[in-house]
């Protein structure tokens, strides 16, 4: 399923919530490396949960967060115009509401 991306390319909308997209200024090699790190960290989260190992889980979640920061999905914003970050906000509470209500949206 393709999620709608805001006209400025900063967010995608999932279940009416904005999620910051990866930094489009990353090289393909950088992006691929960070995605690899993210997927490895997510597998480690799953393994730590299965092992019921809280210490391992904490470390794995830190690795997930670090990969998302590297991708630009968390942490400092990747755009330079000073615009506010609406990551994880409901679209209805953002300036993107008018754009979103005009979309022809399939049910999620």
The DSSP symbol for 1 reads -
Reported confidence tier of residue 21, pLDDT bands at 50, 70, 90? very high
User: What's the confidence (pLDDT) of residue 81?
Assistant: 96
Q: Across residues 43-63, what is the average pLDDT?
A: 98
Considering the domain architecture, whether residues 31 and 66 belong to the same structural domain is answered as yes
CB 91 within 8 A of CB 97: yes
Which range of residues forms the domain containing residue 61? 27-72
- Could you tell me if 36 and 63 lie in one domain? yes
On whether both 67 and 87 belong to a single domain, the answer is: no
More confident residue, 106 or 9: 9
Question: Could you give the number of structural domains in the chain?
Answer: 2
pTM, two decimals, is 0.87
Say if residue 41 is in the same domain as residue 63: yes
Say whether both 8 and 43 belong to one domain: no
Assess whether 65 and 95 both reside in one domain: no
| Claim to verify: residue 8 and residue 42 sit in the same structural domain | no
**31 and 67 share a domain?**
yes
Assign 104 a pLDDT band (cuts: 50, 70, 90): confident
Average pLDDT over every residue of 10-31: 97
Mean pLDDT of the 45-60 span: 98
Distance set, CA 85 to CA 21, 29, 88, 92 (Å): 12, 26, 9, 15
pLDDT band at 108 (very low <50, low <70, confident <90, very high): low
Same domain assignment for residues 66 and 41: yes
In this predicted structure, the answer to whether residue 30 has a pLDDT above a threshold of 90 is yes
What is the C-alpha separation between 72 and 78, in angstroms, rounded?
6
Identify whether residues 1 and 34 lie together within a single domain.
no
């Amino acid at each position: 399923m393709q999620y709608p991306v805001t006209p400025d390319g900063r967010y995608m909308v999932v279940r009416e919530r904005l999620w910051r997209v990866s930094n489009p200024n990353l090289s393909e090699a950088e992006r691929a490396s960070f995605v690899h790190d993210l997927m490895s960290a997510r597998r480690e989260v799953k393994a730590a949960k299965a092992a019921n190992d809280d210490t391992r889980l904490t470390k794995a979640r830190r690795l997930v967060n670090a990969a998302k920061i590297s991708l630009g999905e968390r942490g400092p914003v990747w755009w330079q115009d000073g615009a506010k970050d609406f990551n994880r906000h409901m679209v209805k509470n953002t300036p993107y509401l008018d754009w979103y209500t005009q979309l022809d949206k399939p049910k999620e």
